[in-house]
Amino acid sequence: MKPFNTLPRTDGWPARFIGVVCVAALSACSVLKPSTTEPPAFYALNAAPTTVPLRAPDSATRTLPTLIITPTRAAAGFDSQRIIYVRHAHQLEYFAHNEWIDTPARMLGPLLASSMEATGAFGAVVVTPAGASGDLRLETDIIRLQHNFETRPSRVQFTLRAYLLDDKTRRVLAWREFHGEATAPSDTPAGGVAAANQAVQAELTKLAQFVAAHPR
């Protein structure tokens, strides 16, 4: 009579041991197998502002002001690399496999500098934290940057609030809120990014004209 609890054997090895080996082998294969998850796509805000110079450099006797640009801040929910879209009022959602290469606030710095330099109204334009000093200071806040699917065709909405200060007294010389929209060429993340660059480019051009035209 065969004893109880005796495992059947295969080539001298207990079947339970062989099962454990097989499970381990399958686990190893699953680790080594390339993932089928869609890799994320990364996008940038890099459309150069189309600012036309507003002032030709004066004679060498005149010193143009130095403009300090404080790094841009962003409203809650928008200080992220995740690309935001809206399908319902007041509800922000994020694309799963599509991101900005950096936060929009950080990507805006070089674009702000380029747009201000193109006006020819400043002797130097510097993007730097609050510690540096100059003649004028520009502070900006992204209020929203979102792909809105509540409209057809879908549109990207961009709102930027800007403050121009006397850098020595910190007195606010002027402020303004810039709001722009651009129609997305397609209802996709890539279409939204294209529209975002268009909207940002247009509003930075207006901002540069506003800052350069304001008397010190």
pLDDT tens for each residue of 150-169: 999 999 999 999 999 999 99
pLDDT of residue 44: 97
Domain region containing 207:
59-213
pLDDT of residue 214: 81
Average pLDDT over residues 87-116: 96
Query: What 3-state class would DSSP assign to 180?
Result: strand
Percent helix, percent strand, percent coil in the chain, to nearest 5: 25, 35, 40
**Spatial distance between the Cα atoms of 50 and 184, rounded to a whole number of angstroms:** 20
Q: Is residue 34 part of a domain?
A: no
**Which CATH number do you get for residue 71?**
3.40.50.10610
pLDDT of residue 133: 87
**Least confident segment among 9-23, 149-163, 164-178:** 9-23
Structure tokens at 35: 């993932």
Q: Is residue 178 part of a domain?
A: yes
Q: Is residue 4 part of a domain?
A: no
Predicted TM-score (pTM) above 0.85: no
What percent of the chain lies above the pLDDT cut of 70? 75
Q: Is residue 20 part of a domain?
A: no
Average pLDDT over residues 42-65: 72
pLDDT of residue 39: 84
Q: Is residue 23 part of a domain?
A: no
pLDDT band at 130 (very low <50, low <70, confident <90, very high): low
Which ranges constitute the DSSP H helices of 11-120?
15-32, 104-117
Q: Is residue 77 part of a domain?
A: yes
Structure tokens at 85: 């879209």
pLDDT tens for each residue of 58-100: 545 468 999 999 999 999 999 999 999 999 999 999 999 999 9
Average pLDDT over residues 124-139: 89
Q: Is residue 51 part of a domain?
A: no
Is the per-residue pLDDT at 183 higher than 50?
yes
Q: Is residue 171 part of a domain?
A: yes
CB 205, CB 50: distance < 8 Å? yes
Is the per-residue pLDDT at 185 higher than 60?
yes
What is the C-alpha radius of gyration for the chain, rounded to an integer number of angstroms? 28
Total of domains in the chain: 1
